[in-house]
Amino acid sequence: SHYRLSDSTRTGHSSFSPRTHACAELRPKDVGEEVTLCGWVQYRRHDLFVILRDFSGLVQLLIPQDESLVHLKSSLCGLPLESVVKVTGEVIHRPPGQENKAMATGAIEVSVRSLEVLNECKQLPFEIKDCVKKSESLRMQYRYLDLRSPQMQSNLRLRSQLVMKMREYLCNIHGFIDVETPTLFKRTPGGAREFLVPSREPGRFYSLPQSPQQFKQLLMVAGLDRYFQVARCYRDEGSKPDRQPEFTQVDIEMSFVDQMGIQTLVEGLIQHCWPEKMGPVSLPFPSLTYAEAMREYGVDKPDTRFGMKLVDVTEALYGTEVGFLRDAVTHPEGCVQAICVPGGAKHLQNKDLEFIRQTAKTHFNQELSLVVLKADGSWKSPLSKHLPDSVKQQLLQKTHAEAGDLLLLAAGAAERVRPLLGKVRLQCAELLEAQGVAVRDPSAFHFLWVVDFPLFLPREEDPEQLESAHHPFTAPHPDDTHLLYSQPDKVRSQHYDLVLNGSEIGGGSIRIHRASMQQYVLENVLKEDASLLSHLMEALDSGAPPHGGIALGLDRLVAIMVGAPSIRDVIAFPKSFRGHDLMSGAPDFASEAELRPYHISVNLPAEDRGVRGN
Amino acid sequence: SHYRLSDSTRTGHSSFSPRTHACAELRPKDVGEEVTLCGWVQYRRHDLFVILRDFSGLVQLLIPQDESLVHLKSSLCGLPLESVVKVTGEVIHRPPGQENKAMATGAIEVSVRSLEVLNECKQLPFEIKDCVKKSESLRMQYRYLDLRSPQMQSNLRLRSQLVMKMREYLCNIHGFIDVETPTLFKRTPGGAREFLVPSREPGRFYSLPQSPQQFKQLLMVAGLDRYFQVARCYRDEGSKPDRQPEFTQVDIEMSFVDQMGIQTLVEGLIQHCWPEKMGPVSLPFPSLTYAEAMREYGVDKPDTRFGMKLVDVTEALYGTEVGFLRDAVTHPEGCVQAICVPGGAKHLQNKDLEFIRQTAKTHFNQELSLVVLKADGSWKSPLSKHLPDSVKQQLLQKTHAEAGDLLLLAAGAAERVRPLLGKVRLQCAELLEAQGVAVRDPSAFHFLWVVDFPLFLPREEDPEQLESAHHPFTAPHPDDTHLLYSQPDKVRSQHYDLVLNGSEIGGGSIRIHRASMQQYVLENVLKEDASLLSHLMEALDSGAPPHGGIALGLDRLVAIMVGAPSIRDVIAFPKSFRGHDLMSGAPDFASEAELRPYHISVNLPAEDRGVRGN
């Protein structure tokens, strides 16, 4: 039962290895076999048992108690936890009554006959099993210990398997080519969030791109037909929560395809890579237009695992005398929107309600009216005495609100009121869940397409000017193309977002493939200097096929799948909140000699100069 | 025969597409079928035929000549070459005698019934078919046109398929996990060839790593067991020939493995991914020790597709009176080495011989003695009259030289003479091939392991000091471990190189897994500051398993496989010789405003200041 490491016919997890099995593979069918295992000493019980761990899980070793093997016993009992050993022994049944049903290998144990200590563990900053309870920074500093936890092992393994399945689908089933595109590239005009990389030519810099957008389009112009890449992308955002300076997207582009084609491809991709144990994915994914999503959920990435949709109650309030409501219903663009939080009156505390009210104030500078529907059906609300019963009845009817529910009302312009209620809707779900109310099924995965986005939006700094809602290469919706030249603000795009449980996990579009239209968009609509993209315009004029694609955010997708609170839990070596690698101490100071070849020098802020003496 | 783009049950190259077939798929069995094709107008013949091209290849379209379809004819005849069209038509047999056996679709043609012009080609900087003859810089500037060539299409497709097969082998057959490691990392001490990336923290820089070496070892400490990654790596080398600032390596690391285990894994990997049409790969690969390679080929990456091995002829010259030979044979470390170039006398010109002599002089500052063995067996050489016939006979015997061959002799210290003859050996092969002599089979692939490298080498700047032959994490050969503490210069390593046709395509090693040995190597042998790697030492002390791995140079491997003269031919968007992207103009100047967030400024050399006015 001992293998040569160079046995080329063996496959599986133990090929090329002295072990015969992975620890967690052993079962009663292996009883009687002599096995060799390699792993870490997880813990020890009463000098009788050692629990051995490897990537696959745990197995119990029986420490021999007979006199002839006393050296073996003393070695095993003297080993510090987390030491690395190779053991050989016989698989035996556990004595009746001593089986551990919670353990995959709990019916057997390995009676140790020989031991080789491969590396003794000398020091640990903390006990491995408590690792997850440690501070985030300690976990990051000793990431190689943190990664020994079953959860992190399983996250990284699932990620690897998921990507492998995606590749099989794209490459083997649908004829895509995996093409690597450069990460040392030219700065995008206005690309404020791109890292710079100094070159050895004075004053010249590469830039780390935020996505392979230009390259994927050029590959279509090149006739590659179907491209994909699991692409490393970069974004310098300082410290936004749960963002990483480098992240991974599954980047896809096809020629001769329309929006439905890309969406169907992606649905098939998700279905193909979805782990069986996580239940089936049913196709096609539901779809909402941007307008519908905003109207019903107040957000363009709705969490459709629960209701509490926005309800327009403007009509019910046409005759109202309440000042702020009347202002809203009489204003041409005003409205009153409501959501009903089922059980909200019953389960939410006063401080929860205050928190919701504060959100409206601080994030949206808006008033939110709360109606607590008491158990007896009576209204607890400042509005109560100002609304006639008939109006109250209408409100209850339209929102399907009942005794014990909470009703939230906001009045004003739709584009202000809806995002407010969209945010509050999510907060209510969280607050209810914190009270133990089941709002969203944690094992449910709700995919959703959001389509028909506007192609352009008013610029924040100058609302008379338009900017691209996504990027300037997005094609207009075929039904709206004629509007591009007359009312560009009315044009819908062929952009689509893929949303999972309320998070955007992908976005893409059909691209403009004619240079004349691209030029018109850049110069006439966006008022940008098209010459900065002259190589792309030339490319479109040299026989560009119709094309489109999508990019899926792999880190986010995997994080949602494994239920991780942060994408840091599905990345082997993530950066901290402030963009630091806490293990190695990156980023770090560079000496003048190291900067010299790049013709740059550091301008330290005044207060730092004394300290660093540069 | 028309598909909805959203038909999720279709697979293959035409799923999600309006086309029914790829152009080059059509065969006589399809005759009578109505097909829809999408592609580029490659060329037109006599207003009778259009040759349509897509990623798969070419097909001939028959332009309808009947009066009723005159608009279709005029459209097809008026289209500029490289325009993009969708055509529908019937597959018909070509008339007898008009088949084209050189074309995969040469037995059929498509009688066009309808046409949609998807994009008209407006301008081309050159004709596509002549692209390869254009200057390298024009090819790079219009890379999207260059990539339309069948050769580039095939190179990128082969690369994608090769990597896919490697992933299947590693992931699906041998239980490896694909883990992405960061590229924004800490500067390696002394890592002079690492690009810097300024962070928003004054004076602090990330560094783009040359390989994931530290991460892969830490993943083994983390118990991931088997890691691989198709990893983007970075190296700032200015302008070395055929190097790219970013390149790709297939990076592999395993726990509980020895050198034979890794070598067998890699042999299986190559065999698994090897394209069938390129013939079988036979295993195991032959192996040479470093000492053998240097002795027989004068180089540590021998091209074993041909002979002309180095022969030690010192003994034959013991009694010689020729000054420089006598000096060599009497010096304790001296020797005389020879190679026989079969047919060299017959095929090589005087200028070739002069070129070889010059190489020895300029590159090695050494004299090379040439013996031209004329057709009648007589010697043409300055040495001829100084060597007795018996010595000549011995030389011929030892080198197996015959009439018509060329004999090359070099005398001196072995470590100087061997590299000289190693280089000259390759030059002779090239010179003979330039004369039409078959020396190396261009379709042959000779894999070779080179093993038992020295662990340390004398530092170039201070030969009393040692430096790592590869890197400081390489483990000593198990037979030599005891010498580490007494004669480190004598220690062989557990490093191995994989060589293909004389190019190094991979290298790896078993790593040191004990902190005490790692510390000893860093501090006592290499005299380096071990504290800079304190996180690695801590990791080794916290239960590091024995581990080892390898990195394969993907660009080089694919280039050799497809017979490309440069790795630029197997990379979609390579940088030019000087590290420029000629399409976009990267690297480019950055404004002061763009540099400000990174607290850096540019120091222009004096002569540039006036011009840029910075």
**What tens digit of pLDDT does each residue of A189-222 get?**
766 789 999 999 999 999 999 999 999 999 999 9
CATH architecture of B23-119: Beta Barrel (2.40)
Nearest alpha carbon to residue A442 among A308, A267, A275, A560: A560
Confidence of residue A235 (pLDDT cuts 50, 70, 90): very high
Quick one: pLDDT at residue A5? Answer: 65
Quick one: pLDDT at residue B61? Answer: 98
Q: Does B163 have pLDDT greater than 70?
A: yes
Cβ-nearest to A167 among B124, B164, B589: B164
Quick one: pLDDT at residue A313? Answer: 96
Where would I find the H helices in A222-367?
259-273, 290-297, 323-330, 344-347, 350-364
Quick one: pLDDT at residue B238? Answer: 67
Contact B493, B547 (CB under 8 A): no
Contact A91, A32 (CB under 8 A): yes
Contact B408, B369 (CB under 8 A): yes
- Does residue A533 or residue A173 have the better pLDDT? A173
Quick one: pLDDT at residue A241? Answer: 74
Q: Which amino acid is at B492?
A: R
Rg over alpha carbons for chain B, rounded to the nearest Å, is: 30
**Per the CB < 8 Å rule, is A143 touching B198?**
no
Nearest alpha carbon to residue A405 among A370, A434, A431: A370
**Separation of first and last alpha carbons in chain A:** 64
Query: Per-residue pLDDT averaged across B522-529, rounded?
Result: 93
Q: Which residue has the tokens 């939110």?
A: A368
Least Cα separation, residue A500 to chain B (angstroms) = 21
Q: Which residue has the tokens 């006199």?
A: A67
Q: Kindly indicate whether the domain formed by A306-434 is annotated with CATH number 3.30.1360.30.
A: yes
**Residue B517: Cβ within 10 Å count:** 16
**Per the CB < 8 Å rule, is B584 touching A185?**
yes
Query: Per-residue pLDDT averaged across A105-133, rounded?
Result: 87
Nearest alpha carbon to residue A185 among B526, B273, B76, B582: B582
**Per the CB < 8 Å rule, is A604 touching B545?**
no
Q: What is the pLDDT of residues B368-400, one digit of tens each?
A: 999 999 999 999 999 999 999 999 999 999 999
Residue A173 near chain B (CB below 8 Å): yes
Contact A480, A526 (CB under 8 A): no
Strand positions, DSSP E, B460-591: 466-468, 495-500, 503-510, 547-553, 588-589
DSSP assignment string, A22-60: -GGG--GGGTT-EEEEEEEEEEEETTTEEEEEETTEEEE
Please give the class, per CATH, of domain B152-288+446-570: alpha beta
**Per the CB < 8 Å rule, is B204 touching A587?**
yes
Least Cα separation, residue A189 to chain B (angstroms) = 10
Q: Does B612 have pLDDT greater than 50?
A: no
Which positions in chain B touch A118 (Cβ < 8 Å)? 256, 513, 545-546
Q: Which amino acid is at A299?
A: V
Q: What is the pLDDT of residues A545-556, one digit of tens each?
A: 999 999 999 999
Cβ-nearest to B54 among A185, A223, A575: A223
Delimit the CATH 2.40.50.140 region(s) of chain B.
23-119
Q: What is the pLDDT of residues B310-319, one digit of tens each?
A: 999 999 998 8
Residue A84's φ and ψ, nearest 5 degrees, are -105, 130
Mean pLDDT of chain A: 93
Least Cα separation, residue A196 to chain B (angstroms) = 6
**Per the CB < 8 Å rule, is B167 touching A167?**
yes
Delimit the CATH 3.30.930.10 region(s) of chain A.
152-288+446-570
Q: Does A611 have pLDDT greater than 50?
A: no
Q: What is the pLDDT of residues A471-520, one digit of tens each?
A: 999 999 999 999 999 999 999 999 999 999 999 999 999 999 999 999 99
Q: What is the ipTM of this complex?
A: 0.95
Delimit the CATH 3.30.1360.30 region(s) of chain B.
306-434
Mean pLDDT of chain B: 93
Q: What is the pLDDT of residues A354-382, one digit of tens each?
A: 999 999 999 888 889 999 999 999 999 99
